Amino acid sequence: MALKVAGILLSVTPSEKCNNCAISSTGKQTLRTALTHKKVTKAGVSVAAGDLDGNGFAEIITSAGPGGAPQVNVYASRTYGLLSSFLAYAPQFTGGVYVAVGELTGDTFAEIITGAGSGGGSQVNVFNSQSLQLLTSFFAYAQGFEGGVRVGACDFNGDGVDEIITGAGPGGGPHVKVFDFDLTLVDQFFAGDVGFLGGVFVS
């Protein structure tokens, strides 16, 4: 079943008003700009979308960039109202958070996946989107690595549920890993020159 996001596309605007999540139906005209994280610096926000409540419409999930608390917000895509908000990591962590959404457990609700930014190691957390309970937490790369981890989700192996996709942050090379929800390593590869240390984004 195709999900609906009220006909919108999402983008992040890193500027003096970088806390903004710009929403457009065409990619050319901004229809609505939501101040999603009021105390974030110019690093912007990470944005994802997925059906968290099983109603056929994808909710909008945002996470704070470096400089603010590791806050994740969930918004209704049709009204843009705030549905829930929580801290993905310890309150004092200000390295930023990457966010993704995937249906990892085979139920009708997608889970929220977060990756710690710079200084947070490569810690990945998975939350129940209804209760916001932490379901699992792991380090995708060596625990001494402090470049952060970018996250995504997709049905990588065609088994009917999504896998967790991780990409190493700066300093770790373009190293991509694929995990089942039970943390079984499904696959890993370098998405470019192994000598490139700028990190890699995944979705």
Residue 201 to residue 203: CA distance in whole angstroms = 7
Chain segment 112-147, per-residue pLDDT in tens? 999 999 999 999 999 999 999 999 999 999 988 999
3-17, 126-140, 165-179: least confident range? 3-17
Chain segment 87-113, per-residue pLDDT in tens? 999 999 999 999 999 999 988 889 999
Mean pLDDT of 179-187: 97
DSSP-derived 3-state class of residue 189: strand
The predicted pLDDT at position 49 comes to: 94
Q: What does the DSSP 8-state code read for residue 178? A: E
Query: Does position 202 have pLDDT exceeding 70, yes or no?
Result: yes
Residues in the chain: 203
Query: Does position 17 have pLDDT exceeding 80, yes or no?
Result: no
What burial letters (b/e) apply to 160-193, b meaning 16+ CB within 10 Å? ebbbbbbbbbeebbbbbbbbbbeeeeeeeeeeee
Backbone angles phi, psi at 2, to 5 degrees: -75, 140
Mean pLDDT of 12-36: 47
Strand partners, 12: 21
Residue 11 to residue 129: CA distance in whole angstroms = 22
Residue 70 to residue 148: CA distance in whole angstroms = 13
* pTM score: 0.84
9-190 CATH choice from 3.40.50.10490, 3.40.50.300, 3.40.50.150, 2.130.10.10: 2.130.10.10
**Res. 38 pLDDT band, cuts 50 70 90:** low
